[in-house]
Amino acid sequence: MKTKLLFIFLLVLMAYNISKAQNNFPVSTDNPVWRVLRTGAISVEGPRYFLDYKLEKDTLIDNKTYSVISGFDTIQGNTNWSRVGFTRTSSTKVYFKATANGKEYLLYDFGLKVNDTIYCGFDVNHNPDTIKFHVVSIDTIDVSGYRRKRLKIYSNDHFEMNWIEGIGSDINPFYMGSFGIPGSISELRCVTINSNLIYQNPKYSDCTTITSIKQIPSNDGISIFPNPTKTELFVDINTGRFEKLKIKINDMNGKVVYNKTVSELTNVINISTFPCGLYFIQIFKDNILVNEKIIKQ
């Protein structure tokens, strides 16, 4: 009898662990902590700092159970956690509210298929507060010994990112503090569950250093001129490291106005039709090499 009861207990425990492992998104009882590396828009030289998020106690809002999201950033040496929002999971979908009385936004839907489209709450403190994405591809990756679904999500006017089942976005799990300034960069660095590391960005050797193990100095062999300019922008690439690089220019609203893969040493970009104002140029392959502002007169 005791052997039978032990066997039943082990089956229940196994089923519970499998269920926990298959969560589409962490819950408060997982004690999750996300660490995001944020790079300011003006230059990858700085500012660079960490944004940390965690889920705390659950609370009822409109008869729905939400986990409280707390966060802090290290830009001014701040280590005090403060409330930054609420989140809840329902089946394959994850929702977010900035305040208890505020609007609820859809953050994720892990039930989507290739070519599906979705509107997500994105940088909800700015206008527009939702962005249309479509699913480009779906595969799986290993996360702490489990195969988890990964959806590549793309927006024509913004950029692409990956949704990782059980983790969230590979840029910022709650899309905060990352997108209000065009040209800014955010990267998910690490995720822990119950103090155990389950995800680490493969571009970095740990969860605490600022510099990527693959990073190249931002202006190493790359020149952009003239700046300001009225008609043409020249980009000279003499890194001697890559056959092809990608050049992308965003306007002040984050809209991509130029996006091209190049292999020439000297590249001429015609910006004569661009409205006058401030733009942000990024040059990269696997990593951002240059992230600078340019002025169209």
Q: Phi/psi zone of residue 234: left (φ > 0), alpha (ψ -120 to 50 degrees), beta?
A: beta
Q: Where are the domains of the chain?
A: 25-200, 222-296
Residue 218 confidence (pLDDT): 46
- The confidence band for 6, taking pLDDT boundaries of 50, 70 and 90, is low
Give percent above pLDDT 70 in the chain.
74
Please give the radius of gyration of the chain, using alpha carbons only, rounded to the nearest integer.
Answer: 22
Q: Cα–Cα distance between 23 and 288 in angstroms, integer?
A: 32
* Strand duo 222-225 + 232-237: pairing: antiparallel
281 or 254: whose pLDDT is higher? 281
Question: Looking at residue 159, what is its pLDDT?
Answer: 65
- Assign 278 a pLDDT band (cuts: 50, 70, 90): confident
pLDDT at 181: 46
What one-character-per-residue DSSP string does 44-75 give? TTEEEEEEEEEEEEEEEETTEEEEEEEEEE-T
Higher pLDDT, 133 or 160: 133
Q: What is the mean pLDDT of the chain?
A: 79
Each residue's pLDDT tens digit, 53-90: 999 989 999 999 999 999 988 765 666 889 999 999 99
Who has greater pLDDT, 6 or 117?
117
pLDDT in tens, 85-108: 999 999 999 999 999 999 999 999
Q: Give the contacts of 56 (CB within 8 A, at least 6 positions apart).
A: 28, 67, 68, 69, 70
DSSP element (H, E) containing 11: helix 2-21
Fold of the CATH domain 222-296: Immunoglobulin-like (2.60.40)
Q: Name the pTM for this structure.
A: 0.65
The two tokens of residue 207 are 């969860």
Q: Is the pLDDT of residue 254 over 50?
A: yes
196 vs 48, more confident:
196
pLDDT over 50 (residue 43): no
pLDDT at 158 exceeding the cut of 60: no
Q: How far apart are CA 34 and CA 71, in angstroms?
A: 9
36: pLDDT confidence band, cut at 50, 70 and 90?
very high
